[in-house]
Structure 1
Amino acid sequence: MTELDPATTALLTVECQNGVVGEDSALPELAAQARTSGMLDRIAALVAAARPAGVQVVHAVAERRPDGRGASTNARLFRAAERLPVRQLSGSPAVRVAAPIEVAATDLVVRRLHGLSPLAGTDLDALLRNLGCRTLVVTGVSANVAVPNTVFDAVNLGYRVVLPTDAVAGVPADYTPLIIRNSLALVATLTTTDELLKAWSALGPAGADGAAGPAVPPAS
């Protein structure tokens, strides 16, 4: 069982931004699933609980320059993104972290202009290593593309990955449990938002002092 030592654990939100899961999303089906399933509320609760427990919060945001320089074009997904009515332009409201998730001054925000994963070709790996992170709690969207890429990249880089199964979303809705059960369960420790909240609450003020936390209970 993975130990949730706050000194070596980070909570990562993946593409939880207005232009992806917000009310004015470029991907309304995904946004609707993220909101109606309660995923965003659960991630907001995890973010709020992580900080007092001493767990570093990191937000991974996907964006592009208005001129498209440096953006990936080697897949249908990237080319389709260029034609969407809402574009994830740097500095625009579309790339702000979506409510009800709050960004605190202690959080890190890592932005990428290319690719499918916040760990590929960005500062994220170096930042996590500098923080002494060995366990990465992955949340967000989508279970179709970015979340699996993040999980596999993290495992390949030597991190232990914890996946709260009710804090990720994809489309269609029934696809998410399938990829979790048949692929991500092979490389990540599965748990739930409630179990993580209990684990982080149990840490109390000691979490900030780097005391090791309780083991992550597996999802049933």
Structure 2
Amino acid sequence: MPSYDALREILDPAATALLTVECQRGVVGPDAALPELAREAQASGALARVARLVTAARASGVQVIHALAERRPDGRGANRNARLFRVAERLPVRQLSGSTAVRVAPPIEVAEEDFVVRRLHGLSPLHGTEVDALLRNLGCRTLIVTGVSANVAVPNAVFDAVNLGYTAVVPTDAIAGVPAAYTAAMIRNTLALVATLATTDDVLSALKRPRRG
């Protein structure tokens, strides 16, 4: 873990954005398509910590971006080239555009100044979406990655951020996957090699600065 001063330097509000990954009702809500993942995100406290980070980010002037996954009712443009996509087509709760399943899940709240970026294809919140262009236009160099899942979308986001030249910061208690032991292994053996790891409390402490004008 970096020192407080090192983390504070990395998390310059003027050059930092916070990304929530697939924190949507159909993924982590009470009627989620994957109940085991939803239970883990809630029971571990990860979802509540994401909400705390979102509130603190806004107070510090850090841009918040919510990355959501959805599909058209007719499925046009969606991937079918992996088992995960084919399974998703058969789930009882489908992430259909315009449905409640693709709304940001409580306790996270969306503010007017937030960006909500929706994707119809792929596994990554960054690749093939607006996120990279938005970050560059905002002058961001650091991306805080939170949400689900530690199995697929979160590591995808971290790898893509690093490949695009951003410093990725992962609050390790604000991400979730299944089983829980896999999340710990992913953090220890993979994310630790490419991202700056911290706790939610560490990030909150580093973000306690006056909001920029």
TM tier relative to shorter chain = over 0.9
Pairing 1:148–2:162 present: no
More helix by share: 2
Q: Residue 22 in 1 paired to residue 29 in 2?
A: yes
- Name which of 96, 106, 112 aligns with 2:113: 106
TM-score in terms of structure 1 length = 0.92
Q: Which stretches of structure 1, 4 residues or longer, exceed 4 Å deviation after superposition? A: none
Question: Deviations 1:53-76 (Å, cap 9, x if unpaired)?
Answer: 010000000000000000000000
Alignment root-mean-square deviation, CA: 0.8
Deviations 1:99-156 (A, max 9, x none): 0000000000000000000111111110111011110000000000000000001000
Please, which of 166, 176, 186 is the counterpart of residue 169 of structure 1?
Answer: 176
Q: Of the candidates 119, 122, 129, which is equivalent to residue 115 of structure 1?
A: 122
Which of the residues 198, 209, 212 maps onto 1:208? 212
Q: CA deviation at 1:97?
A: 0.3
Q: Tell me, what secondary structure is at the counterpart of 1:174?
A: helix
Q: 1:38 aligns with which of 42, 45, 52?
A: 45
Residue 189 of structure 2: aligned partner: 182
- 2:141: which partner in 1? 134
> 1:56 aligns to what?
63
Task: Give the Cα–Cα distance (whole angstroms) in 2 for the partners of residues 7 and 90 of structure 1.
Answer: 33
Which residue identity is paired with 2:85? F
C-alpha deviation, 1:187, in angstroms: 0.5
Q: Percent same amino acid at aligned positions?
A: 75
One-letter code of the match for 1:98? A
State the alpha-carbon separation in 2 of the partners of residues 190 and 5 from structure 1.
16
Q: Does residue 1:86 correspond to 2:68, yes or no?
A: no
Q: With the length of structure 2 as denominator, give the TM-score of the two structures.
A: 0.95
- Tell me the equivalent position of 2:3: none
Query: In the TM superposition, what is the alpha-carbon distance from 1:98 to its structure 2 partner?
Result: 0.2
Match of 1:212?
none
Residue identity opposite 2:36 in structure 1:
E
- The aligned counterpart of 2:200 is 193
Which of 69, 77, 99 is 1:70 aligned to? 77
Residue 197 of structure 1: CA displacement?
A: 1.0
* SS of alignment partner, residue 178 of structure 2: coil
Q: Give me the whole-angstrom Cα distance separating, in 1, the residues matched to 2:187 and 2:172.
A: 8
Deviation at 1:199, TM superposition (A): 1.2
